[in-house]
Amino acid sequence: MSIRIENLTHIYNKGLSYETKALDDVSLTIEDKEFVGIIGHTGSGKSTLIQHINGILKPESGRIYINDTDITEKGVKLSDIRKRVGLVFQYPEYQLFEDTVEKDIAFGPLNMGLSPEEVDVRVHEAMELVGLDHEEFAGRSPFELSGGQKRRVAIAGVIAMKPEVLIMDEPTAGLDPKAHKDIVEMLVKLHRMTECNILLVSHNMEDVAEIVDKIIVMHRGKVFSQGSPAEIYKERDRLLDIGLEVPQAMLFMKKLEDRGIFVENNVMTMDEAVREIEKLLRKRT
């Protein structure tokens, strides 16, 4: 599905002394099947932005088109939109409520009015995708699982709805490095298998840079810059100016450059950095 956002503005606590403009005239386009990373500081408006895409927040002004239907118009069935746009909030494990993992994952599909058989198939699929063994976990209480496992149950609950767009708000926040890596790998696998749009929100570019097709940088409620990882790489000085966390490999290469050692390729990840440095060393000897 394609998503087009035009001049979106959102204001919290309008009319009060502490009103804040969370989104200020944001316009962007996301193509079908694209894997997009949205990065920015806390308070840059990224969470507010994604909550508009499935109609949970209403904009002050502006339009949102999903496959050319304007979801800000009156009379649009939001429940239909929410079936197609899945949203995994920050710390989604706090929304678990059923007594078994299986029932909790089935909550979304059941709300969609699917048959029990279809729901069962989807629960199996979703659990496999997030890497939870059905036999081992289906009957257990979600509250006795570890943090990383709870997180996967919550994500499976949204994946089971088979959304065409999957939005993830900081899915790796607060996890240990192993669980962190698992989730990132799961996202890549999910994108390859289902070909759905994935919007990955993060405050850390390191997570995003390696896996996405496109990066959108938010700053103070505006789109600061957008483009492919390589294009964003060229703007790293600007990113550093606004104090954004950029990949360590990128920082390292910049330091090399500052000392007059020039690297031609855009280096974003640790692997690329290693390769480039090896090349440089070989040239020298």
Partner 1 sequence: MIRDITLGQYYPGDSFIHRLDPRLKIIATLVYIVALFIMVDFTSYIFTISYMAAVIIISKVPLSFILRGMKPIILILACTFLINLFMIKGGDVLLDMGFLTVTEKGLRTAIFLATRLIMLLIVSSMLTFTTKPIMLTDGIESLLKPFKKIGVPAHELAMMMSIALRFIPTLLEETDKIMKAQLARGADFENGSIIKRAKGLIPILIPLFISAFRRADELAMAMEARCYKGGDNRTRLHSLKFTYRDLIATIATVIMVAALVIQRILM
| Interface residue list for partner 1 (CB under 8 A) | 15-18, 51, 54, 56, 79, 82-83, 86-87, 89, 92, 94-97, 107-108, 111-112, 143, 157-158, 161
| Residue whose CB is less far from partner 1, 166 or 244 | 166
| DSSP secondary structure letters along 27-72 | EEEE-TT-EEEEEE-TTSSHHHHHHHHTTSS--SEEEEEETTEETT
Residue 67 dihedral angles phi and psi, to the nearest 5°: 50, 45
Residue in 196, 183, 223, 227 with CA at minimum distance from that of residue 209: 227
| Residue whose CB is less far from partner 1, 15 or 260 | 15
| Residue whose CB is less far from partner 1, 51 or 202 | 51
Say if strands 214-219 and 222-227 run parallel, antiparallel, or are unpaired.
antiparallel
Supply the minimum distance, in Å, between the C-beta of residue 171 and partner 1.
13
Supply the minimum distance, in Å, between the C-beta of residue 153 and partner 1.
12
Residue pair 202/243 in contact by the 8 Å Cβ criterion: no
Supply the minimum distance, in Å, between the C-beta of residue 208 and partner 1.
22
Residue pair 90/84 in contact by the 8 Å Cβ criterion: no
| Residue whose CB is less far from partner 1, 8 or 158 | 158
**Which residues share a beta bridge with 198?**
35, 166
Supply the minimum distance, in Å, between the C-beta of residue 155 and partner 1.
12
Residue pair 6/186 in contact by the 8 Å Cβ criterion: no
Residue in 204, 241, 156, 195 with CA at minimum distance from that of residue 38: 204
| Residue whose CB is less far from partner 1, 197 or 266 | 197
Supply the minimum distance, in Å, between the C-beta of residue 110 and partner 1.
8
| Residue whose CB is less far from partner 1, 10 or 83 | 83
| Residue whose CB is less far from partner 1, 46 or 236 | 46
Supply the minimum distance, in Å, between the C-beta of residue 91 and partner 1.
9
Residue pair 98/104 in contact by the 8 Å Cβ criterion: yes
Supply the minimum distance, in Å, between the C-beta of residue 69 and partner 1.
19
What are the residue ranges of helices labelled H in 112-204?
Answer: 116-129, 134-137, 147-159, 177-194
